[in-house]
Amino acid sequence: MLLIHCPYCQEERPELEFRNAGEAHIERPKDIAAISDEEFEKFFFIRTNPKGVTYERWRHIHGCARFFNAVRDTVSDRFVITYKAGEPRVQVERGEDGMLKIKGAAQ
C-alpha cells in the first residue's frame, strides 16, 4: 500500500484516505462565462498525462479534508514531495541514480 504524506496533518497515511483531484497548478479563467467554447474545453477537459514527473492535487478526505499538491513519478508511482495548496510549484530533477529529487536540495 502506498503511503502519502499530508502536509497539513504532518503524517504519512495510507492512500485509501486520499483522493486524487487532478492536475495541479492549472490557471483557472477569471470570468468563465466570457471565454469561448474552445477555451472552456481546453481548461475543463484537456490535461497533460506525462510519463515521469507529474504535479497533482490530492485531498485528504478521511483526515483533515484539505487539498494539497504533490509531485509524483508516474513510472515508479513514488511521491517525491507533497506541499500545501497555494504554495509555488516545487522544481524537481532526475538524479544520476534515476530517482527524482527536489531541485537544489542537498543529497
pTM attached to this predicted model: 0.82
Per-residue pLDDT of the chain in tens (107 residues, 90 and over written 9):
889 999 999 999 999 999 999 999 888 888 989 999 998 998 888 887 888 899 999 999 999 999 999 999 998 889 999 999 999 999 988 888 877 888 866 55
Going by the DSSP 8-state scheme, the letter that residue 62 receives in this structure is T
DSSP percent split of the chain into helix, strand, coil, nearest 5: 15, 35, 50
